[in-house]
Amino acid sequence: MTSVWTLDRELSERWDAYVRSHADSSIFHTLEWRRTIAETFGHEAVYLIAERRGDVVGVLPMFVVRSPFFGPSLCSTPFAVYGGILASDLEASEALARAARQEASVRNIRKIELRHMKPSGLDFPTVDSYATFFAPVPDTVPGCLERIPRKARAEVRKALAKPGLSVDFDSKDVADFHRLFAENKRDLGSLVFPEALFWRTFEVMGDKCLMTRVRWEGETVASVVSFVWNGVIMPYWSGASERAEKLSANNVLYHAVMEEACRRGLRSFDFGRSRKDTGAFRFKHNQGFEPTTLHYQWILLGESTIPRISPDNPRLRWVREAFRNLPMPIARKLGAFVSSRIPV
């Protein structure tokens, strides 16, 4: 029989050990991610751990997000592209899902989002509009360039030949990064996450977090924050200036991250989530990555339809258009306020 407990300090080491050992775990299942989100946004963490005959057989990280726009929900996990149930077998997954329903019920919450990377085997409504992109890291640094399709490879070579272009990996200049990140998000009509999220991430994650910058004549034109976890490097948050496209800076940026993964002896490059049929989706495919559909599931307690919180919701179109026209100081403040109140 499988028993499920709410995580406490005594179980924390066992949670960490299980997540480290599970082949499908992500950085978003770690307790460092719990601390990052809880301390940045104040969301209540609801972390469940399943045991059977004294062994841990599953975990489920969740946060309570109380939104005035979409109502309260349990999300596994906000600000993450992966999460959901991590389990050894279907029995453990079902036990964790039942326990999640109970946690939602006592909090008067009627929906739970589980951001599974792979099919869970659970019979819940599923959204498949997102894909993720993986590729093996080449064995040699020269192989990192050769793996890129011919046209994109030529762009990287051309950009690297420019004498004013440079790449660095030792920066912790969050303000410099956030300037580009915020401009890109605002211009896309997307929410600007608060700068505090990135400061907290570097503080909590330590060497699991890496910033890579492409600079042109001393000015940062493209930058990405990557996570390193269990042999995988994952470029996650990024930003680029208007000049970046003409300089092919994004091509150089992700090639540099692949080379760094090779130097570190990592085995896999995770290019992260994109909505299907978008520019980001096509860019990743053109870089030689094949898409794999993600399986986001919802547990609905009395709700009849899955909430549409994604950018493709027509009801949010006017909000996106309005956000694009905001002055940057207002976009930053409004983005920080709203993003803490929806399960993004």
The pLDDT assigned to 344 comes to: 83
Say how many Å lie between the first and final Cα of the chain, rounded. Answer: 35
In order of their start, the domains of the chain are 3-128+294-307 (3.40.630.30), 132-292 (3.40.630.30)
For 173-202, how does the pLDDT look when each residue is reduced to its tens digit (9 = 90+)? 999 999 999 999 999 888 899 999 999 999
* Helical segments of the chain, H only: 12-21, 31-41, 90-106, 141-146, 150-160, 174-188, 195-205, 243-247, 249-263, 279-286, 317-324, 328-339
Alpha-carbon distances, residue 124 vs 160, 301, 311 (angstroms)? 48, 11, 22
Considering just the CA atoms, what is the radius of gyration of the chain in Å? Answer: 20
Contact 295, 116 (CB under 8 A): yes
Q: Is 164 exposed, middle or buried (0-12, 13-18, 19+ CB in 10 A)?
A: exposed
Q: What is the mean pLDDT of residues 16-20?
A: 96
The pLDDT assigned to 162 comes to: 87
The pLDDT assigned to 68 comes to: 80
Contact 31, 24 (CB under 8 A): no
* pTM exceeds 0.85 for this model: yes
Torsion angle defined by CA atoms of residues 34, 36, 38 and 42, in that order, rounded to the nearest 10 degrees: -160
For 261-291, how does the pLDDT look when each residue is reduced to its tens digit (9 = 90+)? 999 999 999 999 999 988 889 988 888 888 9
C-alpha triplet 239, 331, 237: angle, nearest 5°:
25
To the nearest whole percent, how much of the chain has pLDDT over 90?
A: 72
For 205-253, how does the pLDDT look when each residue is reduced to its tens digit (9 = 90+)? 999 999 999 999 989 999 999 999 999 999 999 999 999 989 999 999 9
